[in-house]
Structure 1
Amino acid sequence: MTEKLNEKLITLTSIFVFAIVASNVTASKLVNLGRFVVPIAVLCYPVTFAITDIVSEVYGKKIARRIVWAGFFVSILLALYSRIVVVYPPADFFEGNEAFVKVFSSTPRIVLASMVAYVASQTHDVWAFHVWKKLTKGRHLWVRNNLSTLVSQFIDTCLFITIAFLNVVPGEILVRMIFSQYIVKFIIAIIDTPFVYLGVKLVSGRWIVAETN
């Protein structure tokens, strides 16, 4: 691997880790996207799937898996440090501790849901991307990008919502939450296809062409 490719891989990994951390920190804020109410993290987290697809295409499955596990390790560190932030006593004159507690407090169930959904969906995304790459004989990047991501996002949404909120909210609400989040993620996954092509071009220096041959 050339030095330039190494530098670009570091950049992609940095963006991936940023998206993971930002998603974890902002997941508690709910926003309206059209008719749907979703965590604002839904705008950031899909970036991770685009990154793993770019890395899978250029660097291969082994490197993509390493990035996934690096993201998992960072998530654990964030959860542990967030706990320190919450329980460590503030200075006597500091008046903003309630805000920190509100932002960084997560129940063990939410943390578990996030971790399980992350590992399952990201691992599937890397695996499925390469299955489709083999089936399409290296052509049709848009096929492997979309099919791997759309299924992975569905796995992520179902696991997280179910583990986090089963028996907490009524079943009808649970289904609506899954549906709302997945529709938004579905749209974002479709929109990100040109950016995956662009990312592959910027990293590898080549366009994925002749895909209809």
Structure 2
Amino acid sequence: MSDATIEKIDASALGGRRMRYFDFVMVAFVVILLLSNVIGAGKVANVDLPLIGAYAFGAGILFFPLSYVIGDVLTEVYGYARARRCIWAGFVAMLFMALMATIVVAMPPDASWTGQAAYEQVFGQVPRIVFASIIAFWAGEFVNSYVMARMKVWTDGKYLWTRTIGSTVFGQGVDSLLFYPLAFWGVWTNELVVTVMITNWLLKVAWEALLTPVTYIVVGWLKRHEGLDVYDAHTGFTPFKTTV
């Protein structure tokens, strides 16, 4: 399918049009979001970088930004309203994951099972950090999607790289600005909170920039196979809605 067959359409005119690959992208968004929090968030990794030396960082930073990349793809290909549904799906999934982890960790272990301490270390996250993570994700993703959608209209669909990187600057900025103070203010020194907040924000934006070629490939493939290019010229941008 060539670019000539891609229909440029306003999101308000989509109606109940069926999207062949939307469900798959939505599942990928939620799965990466959950796994990056479960598997990556609890580990502090250390790598030896040229000119820098040993550098410690939360391993989740390698994969969590992928949720923003997929968020960009959702907004760019399917529009803000459908991206909004995915953000709410991810938000509810994170809440359920936190509730499930809390209940399962709190259940008394059988005397023959020796894995309770390890289980608590991996899944027994501090409620304050869980709360901060969920709030920061929700706000950051909506800012990311809003900036992405508005910039697409302003640029008439051109210069995709400006939207993917620009939306991440604002979205990850809000995410970091909320998460680190909410999670660690009063626990870490104020200087450390600010340093880690700025460092991780810069790393996430850099990671997004490096993944720009991948975003171009995925966006182009989806637009060709869906046969449409959605613009949010008349979209209501309230986040407090789940319908399209």
TM-score, normalised to structure 1, is 0.90
Does residue 202 in structure 1 map to residue 221 in structure 2?
yes
The correspondence for 1:121, drawn from 140, 143, 150, is: 140
Post-superposition Cα deviations, 1:97-146, rounded to whole Å, max 9, x if no partner, equal 11111111122211111111011100101100011111111111111111
CA RMSD of aligned residues (A): 1.6
1:16 partner letter:
F
% identity of equivalent residues: 31
1:92 Cα deviation from its structure 2 partner: 2.0
Distance 1:180 1:37, change over 3 A: farther
Match of 2:104 in 1: 85
Does residue 31 in structure 1 map to residue 52 in structure 2?
no
1:171 Cα deviation from its structure 2 partner: 1.3
CA distance in 2, matches of 1:23, 1:17: 10
Higher helix share: 1
1:32 Cα deviation from its structure 2 partner: 2.7
Does residue 17 in structure 1 map to residue 30 in structure 2?
yes
1:12 partner letter:
V
CA distance in 2, matches of 1:10, 1:28: 29
CA distance in 2, matches of 1:184, 1:99: 30
Secondary structure of 1:32's counterpart equals strand
**Structure 1: segments with no counterpart, 5+ residues:** 208-213
Instruction: Give the ranges of 4+ consecutive aligned residues of structure 1 lying more than 6 Å apart after TM superposition.
Output: none
Size of the alignment, in residue pairs?
Answer: 204
Q: Higher relative CO (CA 8 A, sep ≥ 6), structure 1 or 2?
A: 2
Post-superposition Cα deviations, 1:149-190, rounded to whole Å, max 9, x if no partner, equal 122112111211111111111111112211221222121010
**Structure 2: segments with no counterpart, 5+ residues:** 1-16, 228-244
Q: Which has the larger radius of gyration?
A: 2
Does residue 60 in structure 1 map to residue 79 in structure 2?
yes
1:202 partner letter:
W
Q: Which residues in structure 2 correspond to 1:1-213 (within 5 Å)?
A: 1-2=17-18, 5-6=19-20, 8-25=21-38, 26-33=40-47, 34=49, 35=52, 36-205=55-224
Higher strand share: 2
